[in-house]
């Protein structure tokens, strides 16, 4: 909660004025029963119509002043709540952007989305309701009790019994429901995760005919959410009946005692009406307060959840500048040997164990990559290929050893300088709604049209872009669904090339390309980039066989290193990969030939006889 409260600092005045005007409104409301009592005891009793009209005008005046105060309070509370929500949402998003992949993986993207949308909206509503009612309702409750004593202290003693009972009921239910609402929000996270997975994986679900299974899974999660909500709702539902029962019993007691006092001549009839009216005001305000407490309980639970995210610090800390002497490539120790050399990237006993994982994903990686070299990385599924290249841009930090670029540990680079050096094409092609040109400028904001066209040409994307309506101005829809998988991959490669990076990482980013396009892409990168060091992660041996050096990973360790010919002669794992892929390719070629022969046998030339 402490992290949330600071967002009131720019709205202190408005946050004070809103409840102040609400209390002014409540003050005028508390005067109404007294005016009504005078109308009954003086105007109606004596048949004094002018007095009745005068008091009626006074009541209208009190109502109009109260209305003006209420509208003013609503304005200030709305301004405070909306501004508060805007700043909280912005800072939360900004903070999430600073978190490393480790924290995002641990918290979960679906939970972060829930906390930035649903939770912040709930907090915003809570702030608005708090400023409008949380001060007004208690003020009227206790104000009505005090005013009752000014009417008749003997009958007003009932208020002293009623108020503690009501406070116990209201706050008792609140204490029970707060932790339950936390569970409801966690169930909501689960439903959101399921929804997100279904929407993003709808094609896979349909391809494997898993619609029914996903429906059953979603129904199960929504039923759990529903049960939690119904359970906490049942507890909250006791609030109104209990408060109504206590208030109505109190009104019965007031009328019973008041009637006796009136009969004895100690109390006027209008005063009894005023006491009943004050008790009714207490009832109305406590009902409001009860509903408010439900809202505030949810808001507190959401605020704690948002606060947890704001308290989560990134495990990665970036320096503001390079360390002394680092500009020359000297960081001391072993790195001094390579000062001034052409070593671009160096892995020194590098390893990574993901958080909460029992075993390392990669370990003992030692590698030196020279400027301008092309490095192929291959291995079986789960061998650590993506983890390997993710250490270079610091998506994850080494848990052992280190990674150096130009002789400097990547942990010593300021974030901007590190990202300037590296162009990354992830496994999943991600493009954003907007024009192709807008997406290209993600790589370099001030890129010229010539830079964009060159990048598109290298990425083998220029031909199909020119065919689109408007060329690079062609608008992509959400997720670039109006492009094929291969087109999206080529555009993501072009986006990385626009910035002319010193290091280019292609993380299995050509899987949707045919062999000819893949080969042309690799050749263009080699010929048209200026000494760019390239890391190619691929499942296909044909994509990396012409690399200057091939790294074969097996179970997180280097199983072989060398050229294609050297690995075929010495690395068993690489031999198995190439053998299995060549076998699959031969089978595919034989199948194609068989299909062609079958067509020739089935169909005779024009004018001939069918066999």
Task: Locate all alpha helices (DSSP H) within 468-510, ordered by sequence.
Answer: 485-498
| Residue tagged 């990669």 (tokens) | 362
Cβ neighbours of 25 (radius 10 Å): 24
Task: Locate all alpha helices (DSSP H) within 201-268, ordered by sequence.
Answer: 202-207, 211-237, 239-263
What's the token pair of residue 538? 């691929």
- Please, are residues 556 and 363 in contact by the beta-carbon 8 Å criterion? yes
Task: Please spell the DSSP secondary structure of 543-610, one letter per residue.
Answer: HHTTSSEEEEEETTEEEEEE-HHHHHHH-HHHHHHHHHHHHHHHHHHHHHHHHHHHHHHHSPPTTS--
Q: How far is residue 282's CA from residue 163's CA, in Å, rounded to a whole number?
A: 9
Average pLDDT over residues 131-155: 85
pLDDT of residue 583: 63
Average pLDDT over residues 473-488: 86
Average pLDDT over residues 202-222: 89
pLDDT of residue 93: 93
Q: Please say if the pLDDT value at position 9 is more than 80.
A: yes
| Residue tagged 């006074």 (tokens) | 58
Q: Please say if the pLDDT value at position 604 is more than 50.
A: no
> For residue 421, which phi and psi values (nearest 5 degrees)?
-80, -20
**Backbone torsion region of residue 71, taken as left when φ is above 0, otherwise alpha when ψ lies between -120 and 50, otherwise beta:** alpha
Radius of gyration of the chain (CA): 37
**β-strands 475-476, 549-554: how paired?**
unpaired
Q: How far is residue 572's CA from residue 142's CA, in Å, rounded to a whole number?
A: 84
Q: How far is residue 242's CA from residue 221's CA, in Å, rounded to a whole number?
A: 33
Average pLDDT over residues 282-310: 82
pLDDT band at 90 (very low <50, low <70, confident <90, very high): very high
**β-strands 549-554, 374-379: how paired?**
parallel
Domains and CATH numbers, the chain: 2-311 (1.20.1560.10), 337-571 (3.40.50.300)
pLDDT of residue 588: 52
| Cα dihedral: 260, 263, 265, 266 (round 10) | 10
Our separate counts of H helices and E strands in the chain read 23, 12
What's the token pair of residue 349? 């006993």
Q: How far is residue 278's CA from residue 160's CA, in Å, rounded to a whole number?
A: 13
Q: How far is residue 460's CA from residue 493's CA, in Å, rounded to a whole number?
A: 9
pLDDT band at 515 (very low <50, low <70, confident <90, very high): confident
Q: 96-129, pLDDT tens digit by residue?
A: 988 888 888 888 887 888 888 888 999 999 999 8
pLDDT of residue 34: 86
Q: Please say if the pLDDT value at position 168 is more than 70.
A: yes
**Range of lowest pLDDT (334-338, 404-408, 574-578):** 334-338
Average pLDDT over residues 600-611: 45
Helix or strand or coil: residue 410? helix
Query: For residue 151, with 0-12 CB atoms within 10 Å meaning exposed, 13-18 middle and 19 or more buried, which class applies?
Result: buried
What's the token pair of residue 143? 């104000």
What's the token pair of residue 574? 């690489």
What's the token pair of residue 154? 């003997």
What's the token pair of residue 418? 């590190």
pLDDT of residue 68: 93
Q: Please say if the pLDDT value at position 327 is more than 60.
A: no
pLDDT band at 516 (very low <50, low <70, confident <90, very high): confident
Q: How far is residue 374's CA from residue 361's CA, in Å, rounded to a whole number?
A: 24
Q: Please say if the pLDDT value at position 421 is more than 80.
A: yes
Supply the mean pLDDT for the chain. Answer: 84
Q: How far is residue 535's CA from residue 474's CA, in Å, rounded to a whole number?
A: 30
Q: Please say if the pLDDT value at position 567 is more than 70.
A: yes
Average pLDDT over residues 53-58: 91
What's the token pair of residue 365? 């990686």
**β-strands 343-352, 362-370: how paired?**
antiparallel
Q: Mind spelling out the 3-state secondary structure of 12-23?
A: HHHHHHHHHHHH
Q: Give residue 320's Cα distance to chain centre.
A: 27
Beta strands in 23-82 (DSSP E): none
The CA angle 261-256-280, to the nearest 5 degrees, is 105
Q: Which residues pair with 365 in a beta bridge?
A: 350
CA distances from 340 to 98, 280, 332, 369, 527 (A): 33, 86, 13, 14, 25
Q: Which residues pair with 536 in a beta bridge?
A: 376, 506
**Range of lowest pLDDT (323-327, 370-374, 510-514):** 323-327
Q: How far is residue 425's CA from residue 504's CA, in Å, rounded to a whole number?
A: 8
Q: How far is residue 8's CA from residue 79's CA, in Å, rounded to a whole number?
A: 11
Percent of the chain residues topping a pLDDT of 70:
92
Q: Which residues pair with 369 in a beta bridge?
A: 345
Q: How far is residue 459's CA from residue 487's CA, in Å, rounded to a whole number?
A: 10
Q: Please say if the pLDDT value at position 163 is more than 90.
A: no
Q: How many CA atoms lie within 13 A of 498 on its CB side?
A: 27
Question: What is the per-residue burial (b if ≥16 Cβ within 10 Å, else e) of 297-313?
Answer: bbbbbbbbbbbebbebe
> For residue 468, which phi and psi values (nearest 5 degrees)?
-75, 150
- Please, are residues 39 and 32 in contact by the beta-carbon 8 Å criterion? no
Helix or strand or coil: residue 362? strand
**Range of lowest pLDDT (337-351, 448-462, 474-488, 489-503):** 337-351
Q: How far is residue 476's CA from residue 463's CA, in Å, rounded to a whole number?
A: 17
More confident position, 210 or 583: 210
Q: What is the side-by-side order of every strand in the sheet holding 343-352?
A: 362-370, 343-352, 400-405, 408-409
């Amino acid at each position: 909660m402490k992290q949330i409260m600071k967002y009131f600092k720019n709205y202190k005045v408005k946050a004070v004025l809103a409840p102040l005007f609400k209390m002014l409104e409540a003050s005028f409301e508390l005067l109404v029963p007294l005016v009504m009592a005078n109308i009954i005891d003086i105007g109606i009793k004596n048949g004094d119509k002018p007095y009745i009209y005068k008091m009626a005008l006074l009541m209208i005046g009190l109502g109009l002043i109260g209305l003006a105060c209420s509208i003013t309070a609503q304005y200030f509370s709305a301004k405070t709540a909306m501004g508060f929500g805007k700043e909280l949402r912005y800072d939360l998003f900004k903070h999430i952007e600073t978190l490393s992949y480790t924290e995002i993986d641990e918290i979960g993207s679906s939970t972060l989305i829930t906390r930035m949308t649903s939770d912040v909206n709930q907090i915003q509503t809570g702030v608005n309701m708090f400023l409008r009612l949380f001060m007004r309702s208690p003020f009227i409750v206790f104000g009505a009790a005090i005013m009752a004593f000014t009417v008749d202290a003997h009958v007003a003693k009932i208020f002293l019994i009623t108020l503690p009972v009501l406070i116990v009921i209201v706050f008792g239910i609140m204490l029970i429901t707060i932790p339950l609402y936390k569970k409801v929000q966690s169930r909501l996270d689960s439903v959101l995760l399921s929804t997100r997975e279904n929407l993003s994986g709808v094609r896979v679900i349909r391809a494997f005919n898993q619609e029914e299974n996903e429906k059953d899974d979603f129904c199960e999660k929504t039923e759990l959410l529903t049960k939690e909500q119904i359970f906490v709702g049942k507890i909250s539902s006791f609030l109104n009946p209990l408060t109504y029962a206590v208030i109505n019993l109190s009104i019965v007691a007031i009328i019973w005692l008041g009637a006796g006092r009136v009969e004895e001549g100690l109390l006027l009839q209008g005063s009894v009406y005023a006491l009943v009216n004050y008790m009714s005001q207490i009832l109305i305000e406590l009902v409001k307060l009860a509903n408010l407490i439900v809202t505030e309980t949810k808001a507190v639970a959401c605020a704690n959840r948002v606060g947890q995210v704001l308290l989560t610090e990134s495990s990665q800390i970036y320096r503001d500048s390079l360390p002394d002497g680092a500009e020359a490539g000297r960081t001391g120790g072993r790195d001094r040997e390579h000062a001034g050399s052409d070593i671009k990237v160096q892995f020194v006993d590098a390893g990574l164990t993901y958080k909460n994982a029992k075993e390392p994903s990669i370990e003992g990686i030692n590698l030196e990559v020279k400027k301008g070299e092309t490095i192929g990385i291959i291995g079986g599924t789960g061998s650590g290929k993506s983890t390997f290249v993710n250490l270079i841009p610091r998506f994850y930090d080494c848990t052992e050893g280190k990674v150096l670029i130009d002789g400097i540990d990547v942990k010593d680079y300021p974030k901007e300088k590190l990202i300037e050096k590296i162009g990354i094409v992830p496994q999943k092609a991600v493009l954003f709604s907007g024009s192709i040109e807008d997406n290209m400028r993600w790589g370099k904001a001030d890129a010229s049209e010539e830079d964009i066209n060159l990048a598109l040409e290298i990425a083998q994307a220029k031909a199909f872009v020119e065919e689109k309506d408007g060329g690079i101005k062609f608008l992509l829809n959400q997720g670039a669904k109006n492009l094929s998988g291969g087109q999206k991959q080529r555009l993501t490669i072009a986006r990385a090339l626009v910035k002319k990076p010193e290091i280019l990482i292609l993380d299995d980013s050509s899987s949707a390309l045919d062999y000819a396009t893949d080969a042309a892409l690799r050749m263009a990168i080699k010929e048209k980039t200026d000494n760019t060091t390239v890391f190619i992660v691929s499942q296909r041996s044909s994509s990396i066989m012409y690399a200057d050096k091939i790294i074969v990973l097996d179970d997180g360790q280097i199983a072989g290193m060398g050229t294609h010919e050297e690995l075929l002669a010495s690395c068993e794992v690489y031999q198995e990969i190439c053998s299995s892929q060549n076998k699959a390719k031969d089978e595919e070629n034989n199948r194609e030939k068989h299909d062609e022969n079958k067509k020739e046998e089935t169909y005779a030339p024009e004018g001939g006889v069918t066999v």
